[in-house]
């Protein structure tokens, strides 16, 4: 029997062709990705689900997936899926680690340089026609060489961000559950990292433990001259508390690629100059997004042909 696959988003045509060779692919034809009610209505009788971070795959969907063998998320983060519920029913869940590491680390650095050198603020001023010309003291930013880059969560992406930090002459500190084998970086408790770092960059998955990890007390612990960067998941930071910290200069600035309730952004943040805001572009290159879709599809192909998945959660 030909397997049936539910695909919730558009993927590159070359990758879609591979998926279509593995089974009959049911797709959403409207705007954007497949709404939850449609996933719920269409999941029954499908052997595979290919989805992404904007699809909340909850217990109800998983239970309705009576024939489901694999849920392939096109993302490394998998907080959008009730993995425990899937496990209970013997459904495999896969993600896309590795292929997006470098793109996400690059974008993290776009935010580090963008906020410390006031790139967004400068461009906004210029476009408003308010630039009066070069002066010695105009719109000065802050240097990073010789300063401490504090990385919270030292997995693949955290380590790739650290490697770039070394190239920029930064000292690397990191907080993670267990120390890693990296003689060029100092493992330290989160509180100390927050209190001593000039840039704090977040690279943890979203879990019950990391939700609002950066709250008001955490922000208050940071140096007044420090910057916070988040390219992980929005809810790791209490966005209202961050807006307060930026407004009252508890910290110097922030660079955010992710938000608590995407695509909504805490309105106060939109009014502040000392924050750089991007629309969740971490892995957003043609090469990386294609590789992510390709890896998700290869996971489906493997499972449907009785092989173990390449990258199980
Ligand atoms: C994107 O946010 C991902 O988790 O891959």
Q: Where are the domains of the chain?
A: 4-99+286-304, 101-277
The predicted-structure confidence for 241-284, as pLDDT tens digits, reads as follows 999 999 999 999 999 999 999 999 999 999 999 999 999 999 99
The single residue of 233, 239, 266, 289 carrying the catalytic annotation is 233
Q: Is the peptide bond before 59 cis (omega within 30 degrees of 0)?
A: no
CATH (one of 3.20.20.70, 3.40.462.10, 3.40.50.720, 3.90.1150.10) for 4-99+286-304: 3.40.50.720
Judge if the beta carbon of residue 275 lies within 6 A of ligand 1.
Answer: no
Catalytic residue among 118, 221, 280, 298: 280
Give the rounded distance of the alpha carbon of 265 from its chain centre.
15
The CB of 107 under 6 Å from ligand 1? The reply is: no
Is 233 considered catalytic here?
A: yes
Is 186 part of the annotated catalytic residue set?
Answer: no
pLDDT on residue 250: 98
Q: How far apart are CA 249 and CA 82, in angstroms?
A: 38
Equal CATH topology for 4-99+286-304 and 101-277:
yes
Identify the residue whose C-alpha is closest to ligand 1 atom 5: 75
Is the pTM higher than 0.95? The answer reads: yes
Question: Are the beta carbons of 68 and 58 closer than 8 angstroms?
Answer: no
- The model's pLDDT over 172-221, given as tens digits with 9 standing for 90+, comes to 999 999 999 999 999 999 999 999 999 999 999 999 999 999 999 999 99
Is 3.40.50.720 the CATH classification of the domain at 101-277?
Answer: yes
Check if 28 is active-site: no
């Amino acid at each position: 029997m030909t397997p049936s696959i539910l695909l919730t988003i558009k993927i590159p045509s070359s990758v879609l062709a591979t998926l279509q060779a593995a089974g009959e692919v049911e797709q959403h034809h409207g705007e954007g990705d497949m709404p939850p009610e449609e996933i719920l209505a269409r999941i029954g009788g499908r052997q595979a689900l290919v989805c992404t971070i904007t699809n909340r795959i909850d217990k109800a969907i998983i239970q309705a997936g009576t024939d489901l063998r694999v849920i392939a998320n096109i993302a490394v983060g998998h907080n959008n899926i009730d993995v425990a519920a899937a496990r209970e029913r013997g459904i495999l869940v896969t993600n896309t680690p590795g292929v997006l590491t470098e793109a996400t680390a690059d974008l993290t650095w776009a935010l580090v340089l963008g906020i410390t050198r006031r790139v967004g603020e400068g461009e906004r001023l210029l476009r408003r026609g308010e630039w009066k010309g070069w002066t010695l003291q105009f719109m000065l930013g802050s240097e990073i060489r010789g300063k401490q880059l504090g990385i919270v969560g030292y997995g693949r992406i955290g380590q790739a961000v650290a490697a770039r930090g070394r190239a920029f002459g930064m000292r690397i500190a990191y907080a993670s559950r267990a120390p890693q084998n990296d003689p060029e970086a100092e493992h330290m408790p989160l509180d100390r990292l927050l209190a001593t770092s000039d840039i704090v960059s977040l690279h943890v998955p979203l879990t019950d433990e990391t939700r609002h990890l950066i709250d008001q007390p955490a922000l208050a612990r940071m140096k007044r001259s420090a910057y916070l960067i988040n390219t992980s998941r929005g809810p790791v930071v209490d966005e209202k508390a961050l807006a307060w910290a930026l407004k009252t200069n508890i910290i110097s600035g922030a660079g955010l690629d992710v938000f608590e309730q995407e695509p909504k952004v805490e309105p106060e943040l939109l009014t502040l100059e000392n924050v750089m805001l991007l629309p969740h572009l971490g892995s957003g290159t043609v090469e990386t997004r294609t590789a992510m879709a390709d890896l998700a599809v290869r996971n489906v192909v493997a499972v449907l042909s009785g092989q173990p998945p390449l990258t199980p959660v």
